[in-house]
Structure 1
Amino acid sequence: MPVIKSDVIDEDRRRLLGAAASGLAALGIASLLPAYSRAAPGSVAIRPFQVNVPEADLDDLRYRLAHTRLPEKETVGDFTQGVPLKTTKQVLDHWQNKYDWRKAEARINAVPNFITEIDGLDIHFIHVRSRHENALPLIVTHGWPGSIIEQLKIIGPLTDPTAHGGSASDAFDVIIPSLPGYGFSGKPEATGWGPERIATAWITLMRRLGYTQFVAQGGDWGAVVTDMIGVQAPPELLGIHTNMPGAIPNEINNGSFVGAPAPAGLSDEEESSYDQLVSFYKNVYYAFLMGTRPQTLTGLSDSPIALATYMLDHDRASLEMIARSFDGHDEGLSPDDVLDNVTLFWLTNTGVSSARLYWENKLAFFAPKGVKVPVAVSVFPDELYQTPRAWAEKAYPNLVHYNKLPKGGHFAAWEQPKFFTEEVRAGFRSLRKAG
């Protein structure tokens, strides 16, 4: 397991914060470190954090990769049986011969990382304050099979927009927590950590950091958590942004789930979205397994290549894009990007603990949740489904921004950080004036 250095001794705190400050330039960030002395009196301690994976853990990973036993080649010429053997071999070769975890570790440690206990569980988070005045606090939540790795590319453009083609008036303070059971956050030892409880924990985190106003953003599970922050609507919340809206009308969702013909009266746009949903639901067995038998996935803790292939097979468009990247094509994600995320899961042994979120969830994933606060929606073309404006307007009656992007998929912040950051800026621009 990674060594977590979280001492609150003043000398260690100064050393760790100093190391984080010196590494900000690695991500193109000119930012101030968090000033936690401004947090509300009585706050639970916020402890500095660094990642330092023992070399023995990396040796163990190398040994397991070297002793991987692969299956035979698939009997089809496409992706209908899952991750092709060719792609699996390419992942294995890159992991063994070209990949360096220490580079990813350095990128994580280049920004300020912290741990704080909320509701009995240690929560890890990145917190980068902008150097610009009046920066808007933004909490960004990842999904599965994701982690904080997904958001590292957006920290610089959001916290220091003038260095990345933006205006100082669009600056954000960025907070990126690791979901419970994911990455460097604690693993719940009892049931009850579903999206609603996580949303409450995130509100507690923002208050603990001393923020009196904030906005929230998310995709995948992060979108569900962010919707629930919107449902809970704390007075500090100005609005939310989602790149995977919970906006499918129940009658549409129920029909597409069972693969029924499209209902009559749909527009061409809605019918296309319906067909996308039917296709997705035919290939969502990973979610069924995690939602019903997460503990059965013990192999994800024992075999790194099993973990990698399971994580790669999230959705058809993402898998095909990742396969092309391992073939040498310039795609939204590089082989190193992919393996940074997989290796983080492996080293923290969170393959099973992260899967339990599917078991915990009692919400309809894509259905409207009853969000009344201002909402910004960004629609990426290779997302699981394209949200028509009509659906977004019905699900989010206070829709303040809606836009369709020319490129990008399910992992929008990771794949297309430029488009993503521009959307976040545009989506929250009107709320800055209102706030």
Structure 2
Amino acid sequence: MSEDIRQFRIEIPQAELDNLRSRLDLARWPGQLPGEGWSRGVPVSYLKELATYWRDEFDWRVHESRLNEFPQYLTEIDGLDIHFLHVRSPEPDALPLVLTHGWPNSFVEFVDFIDLLARPRNGEQAFHVVVPSLPGFGFSSPPGETGWNAARVARIWAELMRRLGYDRYGTQGGDFGAYVAPAVATAAADHVVGVYITGGLGFPGQDDMSQLTDDEREAFAELSKQDWMNGVDHHGLLGTAPQTFAYGWHDSPVAALAWMTQKFHEFNAGGKPLEQAIARDLFLTNVSLYWLTGTFGSSAWLYYDSTGFSWPEGQKVAPTGVYSGPPGVRRLAERDNTIVHWPEHNPEGHHFVAMDRPDDYAADLRAFFAALR
């Protein structure tokens, strides 16, 4: 296995962009089904307007250039080429930090977040930021066999940090990253100083419900009503027949856009309209990345290789902090974690909060790691 780290630059051929535009021109639109608002899925009028913007106004080259401002690399680990961003801070005492994105996101999740960590203001805690792309996402090679899980990805991340020369570092994760980030600490116990999770720890299982207080039970009941808990069951869909649905997402940009819009709309835990939570161009940059790399199908491995849904448990190797504690229950989270940071009143936001509230998220992450040093 080569340990070479090669420079990488995004250069999508113009023919691919022309093909995308042509496919959007030739879209065959369905009629609107009866029902109010989003009750039947993404409204036709909403998606038509968004697709028109994607075709006529969104400029991939502008956003490609922005992404290329971040130093990017490829290295082979566990038989796969792993793509990653590596942004070193000018601050001499910066702490290395590996960020892990979720699904259906990509390293685009952190583009408004990285500089806040690497180049902070007013002498705040600084970080050397490493952002790998999960296998099968974006420019990372897809797994060639079944059996992949968060622990295997975590071992890749630990090896990546070793190759970069980092002996002590922190980990961060949200969504699927909330499973990977603690697993890095387990895989590299002598190297991880702390684990920061967006949320999801301490959620009660069926056996825990009788132990909850009235307030805890009410908070979890409210969570259970949210769209992201009751929308399209992507766990079931991608765990059962991802190949079947990948044909549509890979062949039709309208189908791909509708799928992404549906999921980002459902994941909008902050209650704002999607376009107010996440800038339209940032959302479309992520959609375009999936489309242009053909990774709608290959990104599904984390669902069809799972044995069923369960909330992240965490670990007790390194201290843990969360951005959003409730409606998770701290005493439940502490069964499997050493919780040292559990804020009660951080501003709410989208499920992908680093895209919605990068300043708030960076401030809270910095507070957690600063207390560990």
Q: 1:76 aligns with which of 16, 27, 35?
A: 35
Aligned to 1:180: 135
**Preserved contact between residue 239 and residue 305 of structure 2 (Cα < 8 Å):** yes
Aligned-residue offset at 1:71: 1.6
What is the SS of the residue equivalent to 1:161? coil
Q: 1:244 aligns with which of 195, 199, 217?
A: 199
1:343 and 2:276 correspond: no
Q: CA distance change for structure 1 residues 265 and 388 in 2, over 3 Å: closer, same or farther?
A: closer
Aligned to 1:10: none
Structure 2 residue identity aligned to 1:202: W
Equivalent residue pairs, number? 370
Aligned to 1:21: none
**Preserved contact between residue 389 and residue 402 of structure 1 (Cα < 8 Å):** yes
1:408 and 2:340 correspond: no
1:312 and 2:252 correspond: no
What is the SS of the residue equivalent to 2:194? strand
**Preserved contact between residue 252 and residue 274 of structure 1 (Cα < 8 Å):** no
What is the SS of the residue equivalent to 1:344? helix
Structure 1 residue identity aligned to 2:146: T
Q: 2:156 aligns with which of 176, 201, 224?
A: 201
Q: CA distance change for structure 1 residues 323 and 63 in 2, over 3 Å: closer, same or farther?
A: farther
**What whole-Å deviation, never above 9, does each CA across 1:349-383 have from its counterpart, x for those lacking one?**
00000012211224743142444420011118xxx
1:271 and 2:218 correspond: yes
For residues 335 and 219 of structure 2, the distance between their equivalents in structure 1, rounded to whole angstroms, comes to 18
For residues 295 and 301 of structure 1, the distance between their equivalents in structure 2, rounded to whole angstroms, comes to 10
Structure 1 residue identity aligned to 2:313: P
For residues 386 and 315 of structure 1, the distance between their equivalents in structure 2, rounded to whole angstroms, comes to 21
**What whole-Å deviation, never above 9, does each CA across 1:373-402 have from its counterpart, x for those lacking one?**
20011118xxxx832334333442x11111
Aligned-residue offset at 1:251: 2.1
Q: Percent identity?
A: 37
Aligned to 2:123: 167
Q: CA distance change for structure 1 residues 84 and 321 in 2, over 3 Å: closer, same or farther?
A: farther
For residues 158 and 292 of structure 2, the distance between their equivalents in structure 1, rounded to whole angstroms, comes to 29
Q: 1:379 aligns with which of 302, 307, 324?
A: 324
1:117 and 2:76 correspond: yes
For residues 390 and 76 of structure 1, the distance between their equivalents in structure 2, rounded to whole angstroms, comes to 42
Q: 2:252 aligns with which of 296, 303, 306?
A: 303
For residues 372 and 417 of structure 1, the distance between their equivalents in structure 2, rounded to whole angstroms, comes to 28
Q: CA distance change for structure 1 residues 323 and 332 in 2, over 3 Å: closer, same or farther?
A: closer
For residues 181 and 43 of structure 1, the distance between their equivalents in structure 2, rounded to whole angstroms, comes to 20
What is the SS of the residue equivalent to 1:137? strand
Aligned to 1:133: 92
**Preserved contact between residue 42 and residue 262 of structure 2 (Cα < 8 Å):** yes
Q: CA distance change for structure 1 residues 318 and 364 in 2, over 3 Å: closer, same or farther?
A: closer
What is the SS of the residue equivalent to 1:83? coil
Aligned to 2:7: 48
Aligned-residue offset at 1:291: 1.2
Aligned-residue offset at 1:232: 3.0
For residues 217 and 192 of structure 2, the distance between their equivalents in structure 1, rounded to whole angstroms, comes to 31
Residue segments in structure 2 that go unaligned for 5+ positions in a row: none
Normalising by structure 1, we get a TM-score of: 0.80
1:293 and 2:252 correspond: no
Aligned to 1:430: 371
**Preserved contact between residue 313 and residue 319 of structure 1 (Cα < 8 Å):** no
1:352 and 2:301 correspond: no
**Preserved contact between residue 269 and residue 351 of structure 2 (Cα < 8 Å):** no
Residue segments in structure 1 that go unaligned for 5+ positions in a row: 1-41, 254-261
For residues 312 and 392 of structure 1, the distance between their equivalents in structure 2, rounded to whole angstroms, comes to 32
Aligned-residue offset at 1:64: 0.5
What is the SS of the residue equivalent to 2:365? helix
Aligned to 2:178: 223
What is the SS of the residue equivalent to 2:371? helix
Normalising by structure 2, we get a TM-score of: 0.92
Aligned-residue offset at 1:56: 0.2
**What whole-Å deviation, never above 9, does each CA across 1:316-364 have from its counterpart, x for those lacking one?**
55469899455xxxx2312111100000000000000001221122474
Aligned-residue offset at 1:114: 0.2
1:64 and 2:23 correspond: yes
**Preserved contact between residue 299 and residue 307 of structure 1 (Cα < 8 Å):** yes
**Preserved contact between residue 300 and residue 351 of structure 1 (Cα < 8 Å):** yes
Structure 1 residue identity aligned to 2:214: S
Deviates most, 368-377 or 201-210: 368-377
For residues 319 and 408 of structure 1, the distance between their equivalents in structure 2, rounded to whole angstroms, comes to 7
**Preserved contact between residue 219 and residue 411 of structure 1 (Cα < 8 Å):** yes
**What whole-Å deviation, never above 9, does each CA across 1:8-49 have from its counterpart, x for those lacking one?**
xxxxxxxxxxxxxxxxxxxxxxxxxxxxxxxxxx97000000
**CA RMSD in angstroms, aligned pairs only:** 2.3
Aligned-residue offset at 1:191: 1.6
Aligned to 2:60: 101
